[in-house]
A = this chain, B = another copy of it.
């Protein structure tokens, strides 16, 4: 663990005793950064993802400008279904748009389990170029969508509050649903392994839509697949799972080989520690909208968050991605408040 100049993030994943927690922000290489917006005006979404020079340039922006303790590769969870032969577009106002969503067994049969080194070569190249740009300053995180969340988009064809079509497919065609989930799982395992081989120091699974399921259905259609990934990869690399809204599954998830669990802002530190057994590394959970507060309030609430989670077994982060309308100095105030944290002395 390390020729890295700053490896506090990896130390937190390993459960080391720390003076202050590491900090990064989900979507930290995103639209709140003016330099990101300049590239966004010039290049469309998938060009930015698929051009290693651009992806690596974007990835290091928050390291240079905000000073987070880890970088996360600029990419998108939907490059995986794209590599599986499903047409994925990004519409300016709508977000993800899949013109031919999966709706039948015949559709499922056509979905490929690709050679990821071939189809997603541009991701591996972006990792190599990012590591060069980072020059061992901080670790690099790779990520993928959890199989359930990828499945949601493949069936629904776009974002949704309820993902009712994805759920309907599970409840009316469970065998086809499980087949598709397995294909996504197999592809994701190969994809994350390739990313690790290319040099990422840790990986994170994003289960953005697990929270639309009941606990029993979450186990059947989401956790059973995320767990396969964690079982296979957990001994090879640190795996973090962030399952938004899935407080009810924290207990089960904590029993796996996962190295850290992401927590959203609806789950207090106390509840999260209780539900996960008190001993594992947790990551979160500042409400992204709370970064709109005045800076002194951000600083105060950030310190309170650290006091509640503690400095060991904890990675400071937001409870979901940073919002595009957050002023840069507010984002920086959050990061600085973590970095300058001093434990209270009694």
Q: Are A292 and B172 in contact (CB under 8 A)?
A: yes
Interchain nearest-CB distance for A169 vs B (Å):
9
In the assembled complex, the Cα of A167 lies from the Cα of B319 at a distance in Å of 15
- A164 interfacial by beta-carbon distance below 8 Å: yes
Task: Assess the B172–A293 pair: CB atoms within 8 A.
Answer: yes
- In the bound complex, how far is the Cα of B167 from the Cα of A289, in angstroms? 7
Residues of B within 8 A of A43 (CB): none
Count A-side interface residues using an 8 Å CB cutoff: 31
Identify which of B164, B247, B292 contacts A323 (C-beta below 8 A). Answer: B164
Taking A164-B289, A213-B287 as given, write out 16 further A-B residue pairs in contact, using a Cβ cutoff of 8 Å, ordered by the A residue number.
A159-B161, A162-B289, A162-B323, A167-B287, A167-B289, A167-B292, A168-B325, A171-B289, A171-B293, A171-B297, A172-B292, A211-B266, A213-B266, A214-B319, A245-B266, A248-B267
What is the total number of copies of this protein in its complex? 2
Query: Which residues of the other chain, B, contact A247 by a CB distance below 8 angstroms?
Result: 247-248, 266
Q: Does A271 contact B (CB under 8 A)?
A: yes
Task: Provide a sorted-by-A list of 9 A–B residue pairs whose CB atoms are within 8 angstroms.
Answer: A162-B289, A164-B289, A171-B289, A172-B294, A214-B266, A214-B290, A214-B319, A245-B245, A247-B247
Asked, given contacts A245-B266, A268-B248, A292-B171, whether A164 binds B287 with beta carbons under 8 Å apart, the answer is no
Bound-state CA distance A110–B245 (Å) is: 37
CB <8 Å contact, B162 and A268: no
Interfacial residues, chain A to chain B (CB-CB below 8 A): 159, 161-162, 164, 167-168, 171-172, 211, 213-215, 217, 245, 247-248, 265-268, 271, 287, 289-290, 292-294, 297, 319, 323, 325
Q: What is the minimal beta-carbon distance from A155 to any residue of chain B, in angstroms?
A: 12
Q: Which residues from chain B contact A167 at a C-beta distance below 8 Å?
A: 287, 289, 292
Bound together, the chains give a CA A267 to CA B249 distance in angstroms of 10
Contact with A290, one of B161, B171, B211, B290 (Cβ below 8 angstroms):
B171
